[in-house]
Amino acid sequence: MLDIAREVEAALAAGHRVAVVTVAAVHGSAPRAVGSAMAVTDDERVMGAISGGCVESEAYELALAALRGAGAPRSTLGLSDADALAAGLSCGGHLTVVATVVNPADADVREQLRAAADGRAAGLDISLTDGAVAATPTPGGDTRLEGDTLYLVRPRAPRLVIVGAVDYAAALAVAARPLGYRVTVVDARPAFATAERHPAAHEVIRAWPGEYVASTRIGQEDAICVLTHEERFDIPALIAALASPAGYVGAMGSRRTDARRRELLRQAGVGQAALARLRSPIGLDLGAVTPAETAISIVAEVVADSRGAWGAPRLSETAGTIHARHPLPAAP
């Protein structure tokens, strides 16, 4: 339920009752994890999914039954591997699911949904016995099934702080938001730092970037991308970023810009170990040119770093022209 918190809360805010079918356990082959959810409103709109499509119709019927007050909360959906092969399906497995109904008056549950939607830590407990759902104001551990209780846990969303309210920042916010990042764009220039220019960002801050990065909460799961190309913004922001525990720090610019920037950072007292953390030039070498393409290059590197995919080609670890093109082989 917490994975579709924004959609569920929006339906509740509009006065609808919502039935949610949540995966409590996975047996065999199944594409979605425990905690994945599909919701159906009382006017039969569908949100989310609990599989790759194999059992969505069954889940839909379970949700409608729950809205009518019929059916058992706990159900098993899907096929065993053997039955799936016999039926000619490529994937088997089955899911234990629980159906529950959330009402607009469920204030505590809705507060947890809002927290999850805003990127804050959130938690809900669902009873597989009767489908009752309760809020967990201080969730701990991971999403899990213990006995007849499904504990849904949503940790604080990782942050992406983008320094520089430029076109590349707007594109990066669009690319990063579906990955679960809470996106902040910061720039000291009022004409650039507007919500209208960056509609995909969760917040746009007008402040000197170095001061903001130094004062805001940054964790190991967070990323900082410096895109301004202006030393008065870049250098203080990177000094603060490299002094933080951020898991990813990247800066945009040519190789000449990168060399000058690293020298200025050394002169400012940034040590070699900290400089080694800097991903500059930023991004994976995808041959990106446009802001949208460059945004994909950047989030690809952020994901590669967070997943430990060290073999991915990084511009900061290669030589030569950033936008090098390799000709296609001649047609036979």
Beta bridge partners of 204: 185
Q: What is the pLDDT of residue 319?
A: 76
317: pLDDT strictly greater than 80: no
The structural domains of the chain, ordered by start, are 2-154 (no CATH), 159-317 (3.40.50.720)
Q: What is the pLDDT of residue 140?
A: 80
Residue 133 CA to residue 130 CA, distance in Å, equals 9
Mean pLDDT of 82-93: 46
Give the model's confidence band at 30: pLDDT under 50 very low, under 70 low, under 90 confident, else very high: low
In our burial notation (b when 16+ CB lie closer than 10 A, e otherwise), range 295-330 reads: bbbbbbbbbbbeeeeeeeebbbeeeeebeeeeeeee
Give the model's confidence band at 14: pLDDT under 50 very low, under 70 low, under 90 confident, else very high: very high
Q: What is the pLDDT of residue 312?
A: 62
Q: What is the pLDDT of residue 89?
A: 39
Residue 8 CA to residue 17 CA, distance in Å, equals 9
Compute, in degrees rounded to 10, the torsion defined by CA atoms 27, 31, 33, 35. Answer: -100
With 0-12 CB in 10 A as exposed, 13-18 as middle and 19+ as buried, what is 87? exposed
Mean pLDDT of 294-301: 96
